[in-house]
Chains A and B, each alone.
Chain A
C-alpha cells in the first residue's frame, strides 16, 4: 500500500485478546487524530482457533485488508500462529513474537507435531530478519495476570516506534475501555512490553 499507511497484522489464538488489542490500538490512533481501519473476525472463527486481526493507520487506509508482503508489523501472540502469517510481512518489516507456546489440540492428540523454535525463526526469516522474540506470557504473569498478554503486546508495538501511536494515547485507551479493577495490571503490562522491545532493539 501507500507509504503513508502503517499496516499491522495481529495473529494469535481465539481467547488471547487479539481483537481487544486491535480495538485499543485503533482507539489510540483515532484519539491522536489518525485515520484508522480495523479488520476483525467474529463468531465461529474465534472459538479457540487461529485468529487474525488487522489494524491500518494513515490517510491511505480505506479497507481493512492487509495484503501479503505489505505488513509493516506482524504481532505474533504465539509462535506457530506467527509463522502461519509470516507471508504478510514486508521485506524490511518487523515481527514481534511471543515465545509462549499454546499447543493445538492436534499436537496434544499426537496427530501433528509442534515445530521446534529454530524452524519457526528460520521460517519467518524467509520473509524478514527483523524479529523481536520474548515470552509475553511470563511478562503478563509478572504484571499480575496471564490475561494481560495482549497489553504486553500493545506496549511492545509502541516500543517498536513503527506506529504513530503514543504510549499516552494507548494508556488512555486502556483506561477508557477496561474496568478500574485491572487498570494497574494493564498499564504495568503496557510499560513492560514497551521497555522490553526498546531494550531488544537497542
Chain B
C-alpha cells in the first residue's frame, strides 16, 4: 500500500518502508530496466501492481500484464536479446508455464540483460504446490540469485543485472513468500536512464536454436557457467559472517532465522550466507567445509545447498559432518521460522531450547474445537450466485472441473462445485478428458483472466474434438485473486492506456463454439438456473461444447466504487414476521454477511459486511429477505 508515486521519487538516500515486491519495483527504476512483462501471481503480485502505476511516469519504459507467463517470458526475453535490460516476473507455478522459453533463453543467451523473478511459496499460502524453483537454475544452466529481505531484493537485483550483462545470460532471481511479503526499511539509490529504442542486429545462427545451432550453444552455455562460477567465488553476494567452531551454510529468508537463532541461543558460529546459489562457489564452500568439523545447512524446502555441500565434500575428500535434511534435523516441507533453527541447533549441540515450546504446544492443543475460518467467497461475490445456480440446475450430480482463481473456493460446503484441478486452464481440458470416459454431465468453470491465460487452447480442443462439456466463464471483469489486475477483457493495459477489450463471448464464437450465451448472475436467479439447465441439455443432445458467460464485477471492486462515490444502496434485512427459521439462506449460500441469531433462531444480515448483491432475496422461500424502501 506504499503509494507507487513514492517509488518514483528521485531522492537518493531516502529510507522508506517497503515490501520486497515494492523494493523490486523500485529496483526496476534503479537498474534502468527498459521492459517488464508479467502475469500476476501471489506472492509476486505487488511487483506488477506498482509498476503499472509507475509505468506512465517513467520515460522510455514499457510494462505489460502479459496474457500468461510463457508469453511474458518471450516478450521480455526478446527485448533482452535485442539488447536492453528486461524483466519477467512470475510465481513458482508460473515458471512451469514459462519453462519452454526459459530453457531456450539459456541456450541462445541475450545481448542486454535479463532477470527472471520467480516467487516460490513455501507453506502454499496461495499456491497449488511448494515446488522449489532453484532446480530450474540447475536444470537450465542459469545463474541463480536469492535475496533474504526487502533491502537485498533491490541491492541484489541491481547486482543481478550486472552479472547478466557480463555473462550474456538471464539470471533467475528467486524469492519466497516471506521475502516478498515482508515490509522493512529500504534506502533509495539513483535512477538509471533507459534507451529509447535500439536496433535489432540480426544473428539468426545464434538466436534460432535449430539443432545445428543448439549443438554449438550448449557447450557455450556450459562455458558461461564456468565464468559464472568465477563470479560466484568473488561476488559480495556470497559472504561469511561471525566465527566459531560450528559452521552454518544458509541462503534466502532462512539467513534471518539463523542470525536470530544464534543471538537467542548465544552461540558463536561461522555463517556462510549465499546470495548466488547457482553455480555455488565451490572453492569457497570447500574451504569452509575444511575449517569445520560440523557444518549445518539451513534452507527451506529441498536439500539443494545440502546436496551441493555433500558433493563438494566428496570431490575434495573433506572429512566433515554435514547436518541438514538428510538426517532429519530440518524439514523438507513448509516455511521455516526461528524456532525450527533454534530447535535443530539445540539438538545438534545437545542443549535446551530458549523457550519450552513443548509446554506451549501442549497448552495450545488443549484449545480445540474452535470453529474453522477458511477463506471463502466474499459477501456479494457474483461467483456465489453462479455456483448456487450450477448446483441447483444439476442437482449437485454433475462433475465440476474447476480452475485457478477465487472461484476455487467453491470447493467448500455448501457450494461444493470444485471436483478436479491441475493448473491454469485445466478446467476446460480436464472436462474434455472426463467427458470421454464417463456418462455424467460436466459443468466446468473458469475465470475471465484464466480464460485468456490458458483457456483458449482447451476450448479449441473441445470444439475440434467435439467434447460434450458445458463451460461457465465467470467474468468478474478483473484478475481478482491476485489483487485486481487488468487482463485482455478489461480494456486497460499495463501502461494504463484504454484499449478495445476482447469480448469473451465473441472469442468463444470465433473459436467455433456454437452455443454461446451471456448472463448477469444478479439479474434473476431463476433465469440463471434455467440458463445452466438449458446449456447442459444442449451439450448432452449435441455432443459439443457449450459456453455460458456469467458477467458481473467483483464485489470488492463494487465496494471500492461505492466508497468512492458515497452512493450506498438501501440495506437488505430479514423480516422477522415472515422468516420461519428454515435457514435455507444460511445453509445454501454461506454468505459471510449472514449469521444465525441464536436467540430468535432466525437469519440476520450484518449490515457492515453486506455487499448488496441481493442473491439471498431469491433464495428465501418465504420472501422474508427484503430491501428497505428508498
Using a CB–CB cutoff of 8 Å, the interface residues on chain A facing chain B are 1-2, 13-15, 19-20, 22-23, 26-27, 30, 35-50, 60, 62-65, 67-70, 80-81, 83-84, 86-87, 102-115, 123, 126-127, 137, 146, 177
Contacts and interface: CB of A to CB of B under 8 A. Distances in A.
Given A41-B125, A44-B126, A109-B590, A80 B370 contact: yes
Contact of B17 (A26, A64, A103): A26
Nearest to A123: B367
B373 A81 contact: yes
Contacts of A47: 375-378, 406, 409
B242 interface: no
B264 interface: yes
B483 interface: yes
Contacts of B483: 42-43
A42 B126 contact: yes
Contacts of B260: 1, 60, 62-63
Contacts of B609: 15, 102
B182 A37 contact: yes
A43 B370 contact: no
A13 to B, nearest CB: 7
B420 interface: no
B439 interface: no
Given A36-B17, A67-B337, A146 B608 contact: yes
A2 B257 contact: no
28 contacts: A2-B264, A13-B373, A26-B17, A30-B15, A35-B185, A37-B184, A40-B181, A42-B46, A44-B406, A47-B375, A48-B373, A49-B373, A49-B376, A60-B260, A64-B182, A67-B342, A67-B355, A69-B360, A87-B361, A87-B364, A104-B372, A105-B591, A109-B413, A113-B371, A115-B370, A126-B363, A126-B367, A146-B608
A115 to B, nearest CB: 7
A83 B357 CA distance: 18
Given A104-B373, A112-B372, A44 B183 contact: no
A38 B363 CA distance: 27
Task: From A1, A47, A69, name the one whose CB has the most chain B CB atoms within 10 angstroms.
Answer: A47
A126 B366 contact: yes
Contacts of B42: 42-44
Contacts of B46: 42
B179 to A, nearest CB: 9
A105 B361 contact: no
B1 A177 contact: yes
Given A40-B19, A48-B375, A69-B360, A105 B592 contact: yes
A107 B596 contact: yes
Interface in B445-490: 481-483
A47 B375 CA distance: 5
Nearest to A56: B184
B583 A110 contact: yes
Contact of A42 (B43, B594, B608): B43
A43 B49 CA distance: 13
A67 B339 contact: yes
Contacts of A84: 370
A2 B374 CA distance: 33
B178 interface: yes
Contacts of A40: 19, 181-183
A106 B372 contact: yes
Contacts of B364: 68, 86-87
A43 B126 contact: yes
B414 interface: yes
Contacts of A23: 1, 17, 183
Contacts of B414: 109
Contacts of A27: 17
B263 interface: yes
B374 A49 contact: yes
A123 to B, nearest CB: 5
Contacts of A112: 371-372
Contacts of A15: 378, 609
A19 B2 CA distance: 12
Contacts of B1: 19-20, 23, 177
B529 interface: no
Nearest to A90: B355
A30 B594 contact: no
B440 interface: no
B50 to A, nearest CB: 13
B586 A60 contact: no
B590 A42 contact: no
Given A63-B256, A67-B338, A48 B183 contact: no
B596 A110 contact: yes
B618 to A, nearest CB: 18
Nearest to A50: B373
A65 B337 contact: yes
Lowest 7 A-B CB distances belong to which pairs?
A43-B42, A63-B256, A43-B126, A49-B375, A38-B183, A112-B371, A47-B375
Nearest to B15: A30
Contacts of B603: 108
A46 to B, nearest CB: 7
B259 interface: yes
Given A68-B360, A104-B371, A45 B17 contact: no
Task: From B42, B342, B374, B414, name the one whose CB has the most chain A CB atoms within 10 angstroms.
Answer: B374
Contact of A63 (B178, B361, B592): B178
B338 A107 contact: no
